Chain A
Amino acid sequence: MSEQPFRLFAGGRVDRERPLDFVWAGRRLQGYAGDTLASALLANGIHLVGRSFKYHRPRGILSAGAEEPNALVQLERGARTQPNLRATQVELYAGLHAEPQNCWPSLELDVGAINGLVSRLLPAGFYYKTFMWPRDGWMVYERFIRRAAGLGRAPSEGPDPDVYDKMHVHCDVLVVGAGPAGLAAALAAGASGARVILADEQSEPGGSLLATRETLDGEPAARWVERALADLGAMDEVRVLPRTTVFGYHDHNYLTLAERVTDHLPPGSAPDRPRQRLWKVRAREVVLATGAHERPMVFAQNDRPGIMLAGAARTYVNRYGVRPADRALVVAADDGAYAAAVDLADVGVEVTVVDVRAQAPACAEQARARSIEVLAGHGVVRTFGGSRVRAAEVAPLDGTGAGWAGGARTLRCDLVAMCGGWNPTVHLFSQSGGRLAWNAERACFVPAEARQRVRVAGAANGTFSLAAALTEGRAGGDAAARAAGFSGGADVALPAAEEGAEPAPTRALWSLPTRPPGGAPAKHFVDFQNDVTANDVALAAREGYRSVEHLKRYTTTGMGTDQGKTSNVNALGILAGLLGREVPEVGTTTFRPPYTPVTFGVLAGRDVGALADPVRTTPMHRWHVAQGARFEDVGQWKRPWYYPRPGESMHDAVSRECLAARNAVALLDASTLGKIEVRGPDAGELLDRIYTNGFKKLPVGRCRYGLMCREDGMVLDDGVSARLADDRFLVHTTTGNAARVLAWLEEWRQTEWPELRVWCDSVTEQWATASLSGPFARRLLGELTRDIDLDPEAFPFMAWRAGTVAGIPARVMRVSFTGEQSYEVSVGAGFGLALWTAIALAGERYGLTPFGTETMHVLRAEKGFIIAGQDTDGTVTPHDLGLGAMVARHKDFIGKRSLARADTLRADRKQLVGLRTDDPREVLPEGGQIVARAGGRPPVPMLGHVTSSYWSANLGHSIALALVKGGHARLGESLVVQLPQRSVPVTVVAPTFLDPDGERMRG
């Protein structure tokens, strides 16, 4: 067991009473509760944590937070393994198991490092160039690239054993970030009584206050954080969400947050709680207090392990009690570096400061007071070392910063801490549509003009001093609460912060000189994750990629899982310099969600497995299941497809069901059909305007089949309507169109014809419907009802009657979709199973056969009845279907005018016909393309396609419906259905294969 040789004896926020064992790259190590994986590794003296994406160069921990480009790890194994997690954000827990990525066979000995030696073969735009030439090159290279490059591995074992949650929440003020500005904002907004959410991505709120040794009210700042959290905890309407990353800022102040609920616990140790939770927040006002990311400096070989951001080094010392090195070189373009130098020196690190600015700033005094050597006007020429930096060469810069002005000097060091300045974390502000402006003094983009209801405070706004950040945070929180209608937050007390020296301007030296005195150029890394160098940026600029968006895509800078948090501004600065323009003229790339990667699991939430989508079932569903029915998905409905008997194939079962329906009696669950009550004095008028045929004159007690079109004349839906009373119709729709047809009726009623006195209400779910078909249907029904006269004279085809069936109040409609004598019996849905069971029992002696949707399709196709959505596809008019007789001549209806358009009158429109295969046993595939003759040189003119096709057991041959160009004039013509391997000869016939006069269903 390791003894954490680089752990300080005291200090930091780790709990030395709670050691935690963990495994890194096969080694058992120890850290403490409160550590991240990164801080625990550093405490164990481990800096080398991964290999870079392209060149497989050894890489270390660069940062201490979300911006980390290098320290990406594969966490855990099996179904719970996760790739590309930032070690700087992974909280340590007992038994944690992590592996480095992108190295083989091991971290120290990596075969892919050969890429580094042949790096001239992998220039900027490598992928694009490979794509373009040679033309087929990509096919060859892709496999090699995919294996050699890439990051971690997606879990290959499934399913994901964890549960994920979602929450929708509304608030008056959402504060993002719980550093000093965010805490002050939340306190001010909370004190006003507003509903406040404070979200922070770290394990505990406090932000920068946990990472520095600054004091507030003369005490360590963390004390004030505790008090602030206690105050917030006492406010009923304030919700603090730690471990929660706000990753998306969408329209109308809609923000998405990912909370890592139990990721900090050993996997599977909290089975009752979700692993992660997605918060969907609608905020009236937003305060962004997202802090700032430190910029690396771009110098030769700036990517060795042991080279990290100065603020990160400071965080590891102060927050995690880690001494990251023995000898440190601190490289400064900004005053922030000096605080790091001081904090490192105070824990016993030997420190030298190199400042690229000509004059050391006022704050350098603190460093000098600790006997730290400060070399102003110097830069880093290059570094040395393998798996860890061991020395650096420094030299004086010339006045422009483009070259060296003197001899180099080599300094031994095992840490290079760099501070190139600070980039306000403007990602969310930019996602919200806000415009950025360039702050030349601090060399950074700052929020300028908001497009949504958002304010920015603290470092995120370019306000870097602690006292100013607190004040700005409070003002932002108060203003946000006021805008939401709450006041009283402006008086919240703020702690007194130390007054620091006036900061000196940041020097925007985007890249140090490329060539060491007398040496060959070496790699200056800009984007660590994607291995993009300053030279790559220069090459792209030379090749004409002058737009920042093109630069990004061409060089891949900023395209990694870190989305360029540490690299984008440096790349822009370099490009601007090459183009001789100012940084703001070059502009930034678009910031898009997510801010940091989120899991698919949290986006899916509980919409997985059995809950992925609603499964709608009819009241008779249990009976179907018990009878061994196979089910077909029709929209969200589960409908019985067919009912196989033991040993039967689908073909056998469907043939048996088809024969039963035509020769005895069969039973279909028709409950899923859409049903709409249309009521009011103008009910008939509304239907007349919607349907192609007339309904106003339909007598009470009778039913009529209707077709409805869209305004462009294309068939929208069909179905039977029954006139229940003078002012009352029951409209039936196709199962899948129930909601659409109701919405269609409402649209016209509300927006175009508000004068019509009519209501439309869905009653689909009110009724369960059992449909009897077959020559014995009437006799069977007669055994179940006493109060309905079934005599065909009294109850003719296309009529309906009310009464009781099996003792249950019922409505019976004599309509037929099968072409047989048919009765549809509807009862209150709760009685559906009772009705069905009673019919099944009484039907035994008639050989009653339940049938599913497949048989229904065959039976209706034998009759040539269409299914809207199968035989129509939104391009088919009533005339195309051969239903011109249903188009009323003496009234207008939706779509009628379009039926007279030149295009809808064309003779060569696709029209519905029947097809007979020359081989009666051949069943055509639906969707099969129809051509005039076999063979021929492409392009072969397509005449149409098969829309429905079945084996007809009743007819002893296959049948098909098809849409064929000019089909109505082709009856008797021979055509060919072209299949991938062969051609099937067919003959065009009328689309009615059985009982064309309808005697069976009328009888």
Chain B
Amino acid sequence: MLLIECPWCGPRDEQEFGYGGEAHIVRPADPHALDDAAWGEYLFMRTNRKGAHRERWVHSEGCRRWFNVVRDTVSHEILAVYRVGEAPPAAGRRGE
């Protein structure tokens, strides 16, 4: 079970969280200006990255806050945690 550091509540077991898929997918400002292909891109297409993956989690059993995590999808190592609205850290680990 992963240990995920909620930016507010600190490290908690994975089972307290919900997974929200890939982060930084912005809802188009005017969906109706998009054709079906562009809308489908937003709706369905994800990068499915091997390695450092930026993804959303919500602390459902705790403070109910959504936040972002950079997780290595191979080793499951969590490389960074940051709040919604914050820019994703460049490379490297938390605290470095």
Chain A residues with a Cβ under 8 A of chain B: 250-254, 282, 433, 451, 711-712, 743, 746-747, 750-752, 754, 892, 896-898, 900-902
A261 to chain B, nearest CB (A): 23
How many angstroms between the C-alpha atoms of A897 and B38 in the bound complex? 11
- Among A252, A896, A898, A901, point to the contact of B76 (Cβ < 8 A): A252
Residues on B with beta carbons closer than 8 Å to the beta carbon of A451: 75
B67 to chain A, nearest CB (A): 9
Evaluate contact between A892 and B3: CB separation under 8 angstroms. Answer: no
Chain B residues with a Cβ under 8 A of chain A: 1-3, 13, 18, 20, 26-27, 30-32, 34, 36, 39-40, 43, 56, 58, 60, 64-66, 75-76, 78, 84-85
- Among A250, A252, A712, A901, point to the contact of B36 (Cβ < 8 A): A901
Residues on A with beta carbons closer than 8 Å to the beta carbon of B1: 250-252, 254
The 5 closest A-B pairs by CB, nearest first: A897-B31, A252-B3, A750-B66, A251-B76, A254-B1
How many angstroms between the C-alpha atoms of A750 and B30 in the bound complex? 19
Evaluate contact between B20 and A752: CB separation under 8 angstroms. Answer: no
**A252-B76, A711-B43, A747-B20 given as contacts; is B58 within 8 A of A896 (CB)?**
no
- Among A250, A746, A892, point to the contact of B32 (Cβ < 8 A): A892
Residues on A with beta carbons closer than 8 Å to the beta carbon of B30: 892
**A252-B3, A743-B60, A896-B31 given as contacts; is B84 within 8 A of A751 (CB)?**
yes
Q: Would you list 7 pairs from A and B whose C-beta atoms are within 8 A, ordered by A residue?
A: A282-B3, A282-B13, A752-B26, A754-B84, A892-B32, A897-B39, A900-B32
How many angstroms between the C-alpha atoms of A91 and B40 in the bound complex? 64
How many angstroms between the C-alpha atoms of A747 and B57 in the bound complex? 10
How many angstroms between the C-alpha atoms of A711 and B13 in the bound complex? 30
Evaluate contact between A746 and B64: CB separation under 8 angstroms. Answer: yes
- Among A253, A751, A901, A902, point to the contact of B66 (Cβ < 8 A): A751
Evaluate contact between A892 and B31: CB separation under 8 angstroms. Answer: yes
How many angstroms between the C-alpha atoms of A252 and B14 in the bound complex? 10
How many angstroms between the C-alpha atoms of A254 and B84 in the bound complex? 28
- Among A252, A711, A712, A892, point to the contact of B2 (Cβ < 8 A): A252
Evaluate contact between B2 and A251: CB separation under 8 angstroms. Answer: yes
Residues on A with beta carbons closer than 8 Å to the beta carbon of B40: 901
Report the tally of A-B residue pairs with Cβ distances under 8 A.
Answer: 57
A892 to chain B, nearest CB (A): 6
How many angstroms between the C-alpha atoms of A251 and B14 in the bound complex? 11
A831 to chain B, nearest CB (A): 28
**A754-B84, A892-B31, A898-B43 given as contacts; is B75 within 8 A of A433 (CB)?**
yes
Evaluate contact between B58 and A743: CB separation under 8 angstroms. Answer: yes
Residues on A with beta carbons closer than 8 Å to the beta carbon of B13: 282
B32 to chain A, nearest CB (A): 6
Evaluate contact between B58 and A747: CB separation under 8 angstroms. Answer: yes
Residues on A with beta carbons closer than 8 Å to the beta carbon of B31: 892, 896-897
Residues on A with beta carbons closer than 8 Å to the beta carbon of B43: 711-712, 898
How many angstroms between the C-alpha atoms of A900 and B38 in the bound complex? 13
The residue in chain A whose Cβ has the minimal distance to the Cβ of B60 is A743
Residues on B with beta carbons closer than 8 Å to the beta carbon of A747: 20, 58, 66
The residue in chain B whose Cβ has the minimal distance to the Cβ of A282 is B3
How many angstroms between the C-alpha atoms of A901 and B39 in the bound complex? 9
The residue in chain A whose Cβ has the minimal distance to the Cβ of B30 is A892
B55 to chain A, nearest CB (A): 12
Evaluate contact between B39 and A898: CB separation under 8 angstroms. Answer: yes
Evaluate contact between A897 and B84: CB separation under 8 angstroms. Answer: no
Using A252-B2, A747-B20 as known contacts, list a sample of 8 further A-B pairs with CB atoms less than 8 Å apart, ordered by residue number in A.
A711-B27, A747-B66, A751-B20, A897-B34, A897-B39, A901-B39, A901-B40, A902-B36
Evaluate contact between A752 and B27: CB separation under 8 angstroms. Answer: yes
B64 to chain A, nearest CB (A): 6
The residue in chain B whose Cβ has the minimal distance to the Cβ of A256 is B1
Evaluate contact between B39 and A746: CB separation under 8 angstroms. Answer: no
A135 to chain B, nearest CB (A): 38
A431 to chain B, nearest CB (A): 13
How many angstroms between the C-alpha atoms of A451 and B74 in the bound complex? 11
Evaluate contact between B3 and A254: CB separation under 8 angstroms. Answer: yes
The residue in chain A whose Cβ has the minimal distance to the Cβ of B84 is A751
Evaluate contact between A750 and B84: CB separation under 8 angstroms. Answer: yes
How many angstroms between the C-alpha atoms of A157 and B38 in the bound complex? 61
How many angstroms between the C-alpha atoms of A386 and B76 in the bound complex? 53
Q: Which of A251, A254, A900 has the most CB of B within 10 A?
A: A251
Evaluate contact between B3 and A746: CB separation under 8 angstroms. Answer: no
The residue in chain A whose Cβ has the minimal distance to the Cβ of B32 is A897
How many angstroms between the C-alpha atoms of A251 and B4 in the bound complex? 11
Evaluate contact between A754 and B76: CB separation under 8 angstroms. Answer: no
How many angstroms between the C-alpha atoms of A451 and B78 in the bound complex? 13
Residues on B with beta carbons closer than 8 Å to the beta carbon of A752: 26-27
**A250-B1, A896-B31 given as contacts; is B39 within 8 A of A743 (CB)?**
no
The residue in chain B whose Cβ has the minimal distance to the Cβ of A760 is B64
A517 to chain B, nearest CB (A): 54
Q: Which of B27, B30, B32, B40 has the most CB of A within 10 A?
A: B27
How many angstroms between the C-alpha atoms of A751 and B43 in the bound complex? 16
How many angstroms between the C-alpha atoms of A252 and B66 in the bound complex? 21
Residues on A with beta carbons closer than 8 Å to the beta carbon of B78: 252
How many angstroms between the C-alpha atoms of A751 and B32 in the bound complex? 21
How many angstroms between the C-alpha atoms of A900 and B64 in the bound complex? 33
A493 to chain B, nearest CB (A): 35
**A252-B1, A743-B60 given as contacts; is B75 within 8 A of A754 (CB)?**
no
Q: Which of B31, B34, B76 has the most CB of A within 10 A?
A: B31
A760 to chain B, nearest CB (A): 9
B51 to chain A, nearest CB (A): 15
Evaluate contact between B58 and A746: CB separation under 8 angstroms. Answer: yes
Evaluate contact between A754 and B34: CB separation under 8 angstroms. Answer: no
Residues on B with beta carbons closer than 8 Å to the beta carbon of A433: 75
